[in-house]
Amino acid sequence: MSYEQPPEQSPQSSEPDSQQPYQQQPYQQQQPYQQSYVPPPMQPQMAGVPAQGYDWTVALILSILVGEFGVDRFYTGSIMLGILKLITFGGCGVWWIIDIILIVTGSYKDAYGRPLVRKI
């Protein structure tokens, strides 16, 4: 079994390296791809919004004492609902009682959809 030699370059070729025969490179084991750990970007905290959430006890006390004026809604960040509750005097008392029940049962959410936090 004999191998044929590749044809020699013709003398009219101006680039001697342009038609070199293919030479296989020796196998080199590459280092495994390692990516350094990059922590996820931190979400910017909104001004005036506690990172953990609003306190359940404070919301309950505000709702019982001055809930007819919407102070509990203002406290939890629901400004428009607080204004509406203020204008209607707590929905003539009905909305005020519903908010107290929601806070006691743990169903009340702040303006950002987070439940109230029991810190005590």
The answer to whether residue 28 sits within a structural domain is no
How many other CB atoms are found less than 10 A from the CB of residue 99? 26
The answer to whether residue 67 sits within a structural domain is yes
The answer to whether residue 73 sits within a structural domain is yes
42: DSSP letter: P
Percent of the chain with pLDDT over 90: 44
pLDDT tens for 38-71 read 666 655 555 555 557 899 999 999 999 999 999 9
Give the N- to C-terminal CA distance of the chain in Å, as an integer: 89
* pTM value > 0.85: no
| Pairwise CA distance, residues 3 & 17, whole Å | 22
The answer to whether residue 38 sits within a structural domain is no
Number of domains in the chain: 1
The answer to whether residue 78 sits within a structural domain is yes
The answer to whether residue 74 sits within a structural domain is yes
The answer to whether residue 16 sits within a structural domain is no
- The boundaries of the domain holding residue 67 are 62-105
